[in-house]
Amino acid sequence: MRDESLIPLAAMRAMETIIRLGEAPVINVVGVITGEDVSGIRVNQQEKLTLLFALNPWRECEGPVQSRTLQIRQAVTDEEFNRLSSLLRRHSVVQLRARVIDDPELDEAQGLLESFVSTDVADDTLGQCADDMRVSDAFEDEQFGNFFLDRGGDTFTADVDWNGEEIELSISGRQRSASANALQQARRLWSNVAAWDDRVRDFAAESLLPIKNSTWRGIHEPKLSAREFRSHLTLNNVFVADDGEFLFQFDDGGMFQGNVIVVRGYIDQGLLEADLAG
């Protein structure tokens, strides 16, 4: 369940970082876009999205190469997000102007994007890093297609089909050899997709429907049936570990104010718990 007491502190820290970024000087940065997807987050139905992507390695122009991840953000319209996300390719070398805070107390260096200079920079050092990352950060599987390393989560991810829907599959392991067992466990899960899909969705409804109807229901909102609860679920990601543990992550369809619904279990032991994650 979401710990409401932590939200004000987290929000306060995020706001402090944004204020500091606004006061930081603008510098020229060259860096390699990581293997993580470019993402967009919309908070509280705001008109603009927050564009997020990461650089690692990176450097200030003419400065030494930094191996600490630099998280870049910018408020953009939906149209701008679609345009930029198509330009920002994994492992490409980009140059941009940004306000940057590289504070050791932060988990990652933070940057507020001002403008792009180029999305395809010729840089010998960073170009070689990008080439090395392409080799180590990706592999192709006959069943699931292309996997890319998510350095932040120590997983490989691929866009795959699950019961007729495109979702993201994540398997544990930072190197391809370390992901071999998790990949085999994923094959076991995918060998009976329809049955697992029903079991997981039924388990989520059984576990969380009473909570929805008792504490997460609006004043004039009618109670949901199990069937209606299931209809709100949209599967986004399945994580599989080398020991057969799995996590199914669903969009909640607004039932829990945007919390992610997570169902955990093991292929051999079955389903264990369903919970909410902020």
Structure confidence by residue, pLDDT tens digits, 202-235? 999 999 999 999 999 888 889 999 999 999 999 9
269 and 216, same domain (yes or no): yes
95 and 149, same domain (yes or no): no
196 and 71, same domain (yes or no): no
> Total structural domains in the chain?
2
Kindly state the average pLDDT of the residues 6-28.
Answer: 75
Residue 265 CB coordination number (10 Å): 20
228 and 160, same domain (yes or no): yes
Which H, E and C letters describe 196-233, residue by residue?
HHHHHHHHHHHHHHHHHHHHCCCCCCCCCCHHHHHHCC
151 and 43, same domain (yes or no): no
User: 193-215 and 180-190 are packed helices; what angle lies between their axes, rounded to 10 degrees?
Assistant: 90
Can you give the residue range of the structural domain that contains 52?
4-131
From 11-15, 78-82, 112-116, 125-129, the region with the lowest mean pLDDT: 11-15
The residue among 131, 148, 176 that closes a domain is 131
What residues pair up with 123 in beta bridges, in sequence order? none
Beta pairing, strands 93-101 & 70-76: unpaired
147 and 269, same domain (yes or no): yes
From 165-169, 172-176, 251-255, the region with the lowest mean pLDDT: 172-176
The residue among 131, 152, 187 that closes a domain is 131
Tokens of 31: 């860096």
33 and 162, same domain (yes or no): no
143 and 259, same domain (yes or no): yes
The residue among 96, 131, 166 that closes a domain is 131
Which H, E and C letters describe 74-89, residue by residue?
EEECHHHHHHHHHHCC
How many helices (DSSP H) and strands (DSSP E) are in the chain? 6, 14
121 and 187, same domain (yes or no): no
